[in-house]
Amino acid sequence: MNPLELSAVSKVFAGQTVLHELTLAFPEGRVTAIVGASGCGKSTLLKMCNGLLRPDGGVVSAFGGPLDYARITDVRRRMGYAVQGTGLFPHMTAAHNIAIGGQVAGWSQQQIESRRLELLELMHLDHALLSRYPHELSGGQQQRVGLARAMLLRPQVLLLDEPFAAIDPITRFGIHQQLQELLAAEPITVLLVTHDMREAMLLAQQIVVLEKGQVRVNEATKMLQEQYADLEPEVLLQSLMREAIE
């Protein structure tokens, strides 16, 4: 069973079609990167998956059945969600930001603390940072706190909406390594929205290229690496989009 599927999904904003009859299945336990230029529909697709947006046509299915928008909170508790800029609550400490999902879900303080300690180790976060507020953390620290928060409830699916875009290249390299360690320790299905083809090929096993709300490419990363071994990632992305149009 694929934990997430889109069947002929369309979305229209102000008369403009952002997604056009998209059909995609996201395999269990794999990282799928959704790549494309700004405005191609990447973030809209991601928000469809956890019910933040509803399709104007087609069906979004999660965990074996169509999304039940009347009980969407139950589905969202099975999905982690991290965005560019972290989305941390500025009035809460790092400790509280990480714990908030557990508190809403009714976890005991002991359960929250145990899980938080696991995530601090996996994300290489110092315990001393827990008492700090987001503005007292570096960009990289904020992003790791955001990932820890997204993973607190042990989700089956992790949705990442350009979470590393605002981080400098050196810090991003370190967080990429920590994310890979995290997913090795706790394998789950991941959808990674990015405009960075290099990042996509490093982290994902499957690459989906969107353009103007349509799927242009849906291939295994390994196949693309073998077929286009002589091309740099960004050149590869341009080449794939040209081939798809032609």
Cβ pair 162, 193 in contact under 8 A: yes
Return the axis-axis angle of helices 169-185 and 109-122, rounded to nearest 10°: 120
Alpha-carbon distance values, 67 to 4, 49, 52, 80, 215 (Å): 10, 9, 11, 16, 22
Q: HSE-up of 68 (CA within 13 Å, CB side)?
A: 8
* Of 235 and 161, the one with more pLDDT: 161
pLDDT reading at 239 higher than 80:
no
pLDDT of residue 245: 53
Please state the CATH superfamily assignment of the domain spanning residues 11-78+155-246 in this structure.
Answer: P-loop containing nucleotide triphosphate hydrolases (3.40.50.300)
Give me the chain's average pLDDT, please: 90
- Please calculate the CA angle 161-167-172 and round it to the nearest 5 degrees: 90
Per-residue pLDDT band for 221 (boundaries 50, 70, 90) equals very high
Q: How far apart are CA 146 and CA 230, in angstroms?
A: 36
Give the DSSP H or E segment for 47: helix 42-49
Nearest Cα to 16, choosing from 36, 44, 47, 52?
A: 44
Per-residue pLDDT band for 175 (boundaries 50, 70, 90) equals confident
pLDDT of residue 139: 86
Cβ pair 45, 10 in contact under 8 A: no
Convert the pLDDT of each residue in 2-19 to its tens digit: 899 999 999 999 889 999
Helix (H), strand (E) counts: the chain: 9, 10
pLDDT reading at 234 higher than 70:
yes
Convert the pLDDT of each residue in 127-159 to its tens digit: 999 999 999 999 889 989 999 999 999 999 999
Q: Which pTM was predicted?
A: 0.90
Structure tokens at 153: 């409830």
Convert the pLDDT of each residue in 85-116 to its tens digit: 667 899 999 999 999 999 999 999 999 999 99
pLDDT reading at 166 higher than 60:
yes
Q: How far apart are CA 241 and CA 236, in angstroms?
A: 9
In this structure, the strands spanning 57-62 and 189-194 are unpaired
What residue ranges do the domains of the chain occupy? 11-78+155-246, 90-154
